Amino acid sequence: MKYKSQKVAYWFFALSMLLFGLQIVYGFIMGSAHAGYDGLHSIIPFNTARAVHTNLLVVWLLSGFMGAAYYIIPEEAQRELVNVKLAYVQLISLAVVGVIAIVGYHFNYWEGRKFLEIPRPLDYLVVVNVLLFLGLILTTLFKGKRKTTTALVLSMGLLFAALLYLPGMLPFDSQVKDSFFRWWVVHLWVEGVWELIMGGILSFLLIKLTGVDREVIEKWLYVIVGLTFLSGVLGTGHHYYYIGVNKIWLIVGGIFSALEPLAFLAMALFAVNMYRKGEKKHPNKLALYWTLGAAIVSFMGAGLLGFAHTLPQTNKYTHGTLVTAMHGHLAFWGAYAMIVLAIISYSLPNMTGRKLYESTRGRVAFWLSNIGMIGMTVAFGVAGVAQVYLERKFKMEFMAVQKEIEIHFVVLILCATIFLTGIISYMIDFYKHGKPNDEALETVSN
């Protein structure tokens, strides 16, 4: 049976959709500037647009993860959330901190540290917010009737994500030391503990959508957790190649970066294998598309494209170029954005009672967003290779090279428009579902 407190998840999902849309807007501003159409520069300089774009990515995904936890944990623990009112307090405070940070960036109120631009006073508010969230989730889990591997892996990922935020708050006078610990947050989130969150959500969805026995699916989770920690922790070394640390990181980073795709390969094999074993014909095919798509696309973006430019011999040339953007966009889309959209697609019909998963609009959203993202990835890749060749081989100046590759951003904007059309279709479906209601949650099972 579903639980009434799962309604909290809907409002976190609504916040994540709003922030996702805003992130795409700032992405278009950046793309237009790269293509030579920087008419908004006096209002929104490129560095501001970039900070907002990357930070909104983190916040909307975290909102989605939190929503997923508020939906999954009560069901896995077989009890209501311990305090629904505090969950809403946490939601509102998260939104307020986000708004202050984004507005502040437009007035140069930030730390200026890439990916961790949020000002220090807001850092403390984020810590309090996340502690409240973890308190609610973990208390619910440990007071519940059961403690499943799925729930424990999801909770462990969320807990470690909170702990790894703290090194980014340490003050340093040295740029090298600051960069060293900053990657503890950035890398160990996206190529470490966030994979645990993805694995937990993926496991939950496959149990619900395929009908494969829980024990079989959760055994795969142990493999994913092992591979994630084996490769992800020391794989941080590929960010240390050229920042002034010991040369040993060239060896460590190279070896463990070569192992990192294994965790994502395991997830892809895990999902496809469970789908093939599944005997349950769940009517929500749309949620299944997003679930399988997340596993497969994450292997392509995070696994293969990540490996393609993180070996020292390659990274010597691609470091700090658009090749990184190629990898980053497809990796974040496959590994984290698609899994958030998958849990939303699964949970919305259960929370609202409206079965809209057979609509053409939902399938259009899935295919257009993926086609658009793959097109953007190719455009970034071509622009990145051209940039590497012109800068590293021909020794051209950075801004002269940017002028030469402007045409690739015209293609990028066209592909981004296809992507946006798909996301708008998804958001229309989201709001067509309406708000959750107790009657739907009382009558729906599994």
Correct CATH for 4-436 of 3.20.20.80, 3.60.10.10, 1.20.210.10, 3.40.980.10:
1.20.210.10
In this structure, what token pair is assigned to residue 405? 């590759």
- pLDDT of 258 reads 86
The answer to whether the CB of 211 falls within 8 A of the CB of 289 is no
In this structure, what token pair is assigned to residue 352? 């609202």
Residues lower than pLDDT 70 in the chain: 1, 440-446
> What one-letter code names the amino acid at 171?
P
Picking from 229, 291, 285, the residue whose alpha carbon sits closest to that of residue 260 is 229
CA-to-CA distance for 321 and 360, rounded, in angstroms?
Answer: 39
pTM across the whole model: 0.96
- pLDDT of 9 reads 96
- pLDDT of 439 reads 72
- pLDDT of 444 reads 53
How far out from the chain centre does Cα 258 lie?
Answer: 22
> What one-letter code names the amino acid at 144?
G
Write the pLDDT tens digit of every residue in 284-324.
Answer: 999 999 999 999 999 999 999 999 898 899 999 999 899 99
- pLDDT of 446 reads 45
In this structure, what token pair is assigned to residue 359? 């609509």
The answer to whether the CB of 291 falls within 8 A of the CB of 253 is no
Total residue length of the chain: 446
* HEC profile of the chain: CCCHHHHHHHHHHHHHHHHHHHHHHHHHHHHHHHCCCCCCCCCCCHHHHHHHHHHHHHHHHHHHHHHHHHHHHHHHHCCCCCCHHHHHHHHHHHHHHHHHHHHHHCCCCCCCCCCCCCCHHHHHHHHHHHHHHHHHHHHHHHHCCCCCHHHHHHHHHHHHHHHCCHHHHCCCCCHHHHHHHHHHHHHHHHHHHHHHHHHHHHHHHHHHHHCCCHHHHHHHHHHHHHHHHHHHCHHHHHHCCCCCCCCHHHHHHHHHHHHCHHHHHHHHHHHHHHHHHCCCCCCCHHHHHHHHHHHHHHHHHHHHHHHHHHCHHHHHHHCCCHHHHHHHHHHHHHHHHHHHHHHHHHHHHHHHCCCCCCCHHHHHHHHHHHHHHHHHHHHHHHHHHHHHHHHHHCCCCHHHHHHHCHHHHHHHHHHHHHHHHHHHHHHHHHHHCCCCCHHHHHHCCC
Write the pLDDT tens digit of every residue in 381-407.
Answer: 999 999 999 999 999 999 999 999 999
Picking from 286, 117, 263, 270, the residue whose alpha carbon sits closest to that of residue 207 is 270
